[in-house]
């Protein structure tokens, strides 16, 4: 009993500290300092959440920009199954998947003979990457413009307006969030074209 009482006291103290006080403090700080991120970075249209800026979505229609392929299962961009395929660069399954993705991109836009950016045919480590490179967005611009009956210059200007640049233009690469870009594209389509 002499050793049990301090052990039980310490157990209860640590339970209250790490199970109650610490989570409440971290949650409170996150809500106070970064409320948008702490609440999932949700993007809304007309007051309804349509997705998170942090999790990719599977866009497949010709009039939308497509994100990176997803290695999650049982369906693409499954946030409950985040993870890469763990296939090495010489793995036949990865080579076959990349070739199939290249064929799908060529079939969707047969007149586009530009080199296909690598992020359109390879999945990210999480399988949920919400962003693509500017090269990947500009590669898709002719297909999207044609499908939406928009001038290519308008679609390319939209990509430029939605570009996220690296911190101090030094660390990282320019990129665009696919969901944000598609939402901006929908808003552009809703406006009358001059």
The answer, yes or no, to whether residue 190 has pLDDT greater than 70, is no
Do 88 and 177 lie in a common domain?
A: yes
Kindly report, residue by residue over 61-111, the tens digit of the pLDDT: 999 999 999 888 788 888 787 877 788 889 998 899 999 999 999 999 999
- Rounded distance, CA 165 to CA 42, Å? 21
Do 99 and 21 lie in a common domain?
A: no
The answer, yes or no, to whether residue 156 has pLDDT greater than 90, is yes
- Rounded distance, CA 135 to CA 139, Å? 6
Do 29 and 80 lie in a common domain?
A: no
Q: Which of 135, 130, 128 is closest to 85 using CA atoms?
A: 128
Give residue 128's domain range.
42-190
pLDDT band at 31 (very low <50, low <70, confident <90, very high): very high
pLDDT band at 47 (very low <50, low <70, confident <90, very high): confident
Q: Which of 99-103, 124-128, 152-156 has the lowest mean pLDDT?
A: 124-128
Do 23 and 88 lie in a common domain?
A: no
Number of domains in the chain: 2
**Whether the predicted model's global pTM rises above the 0.75 cut:** yes
HEC assignment per residue over 81-98: HCCCCCCCCCCHHHHHHH
pLDDT at 194: 46
Do 174 and 92 lie in a common domain?
A: yes
Do 165 and 178 lie in a common domain?
A: yes
Do 161 and 93 lie in a common domain?
A: yes
Q: Is the dihedral of CA 175, 54, 45, 117 positive or negative?
A: positive
Q: Which of 39-48, 93-102, 109-118, 184-193 has the lowest mean pLDDT?
A: 184-193
């Amino acid at each position: 009993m002499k050793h049990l009482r301090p052990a039980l006291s310490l157990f209860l103290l640590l339970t209250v500290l790490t199970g109650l006080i610490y989570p409440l403090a971290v949650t409170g700080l996150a809500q106070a300092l970064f409320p948008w991120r702490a609440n999932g970075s949700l993007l809304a249209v007309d007051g309804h959440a349509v997705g998170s800026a942090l999790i990719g979505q599977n866009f497949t229609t010709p009039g939308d920009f497509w994100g990176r392929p997803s290695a999650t299962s049982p369906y693409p961009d499954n946030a409950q199954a985040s993870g890469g395929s763990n296939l090495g660069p010489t793995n036949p399954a990865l080579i076959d998947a990349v070739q199939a993705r290249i064929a799908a991109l060529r079939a969707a836009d047969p007149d586009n003979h530009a080199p296909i950016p690598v992020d359109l045919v390879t999945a990210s480590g999480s399988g949920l990457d919400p962003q693509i490179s500017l090269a990947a967005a500009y590669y898709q611009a002719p297909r999207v413009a044609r499908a939406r009956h928009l001038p290519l210059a308008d679609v390319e200007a939209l990509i430029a307006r939605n570009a996220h640049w690296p911190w101090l233009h030094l660390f990282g690469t320019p990129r665009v969030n696919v969901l944000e870009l598609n939402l901006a594209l929908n808003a552009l389509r809703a406006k009358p074209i001059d």
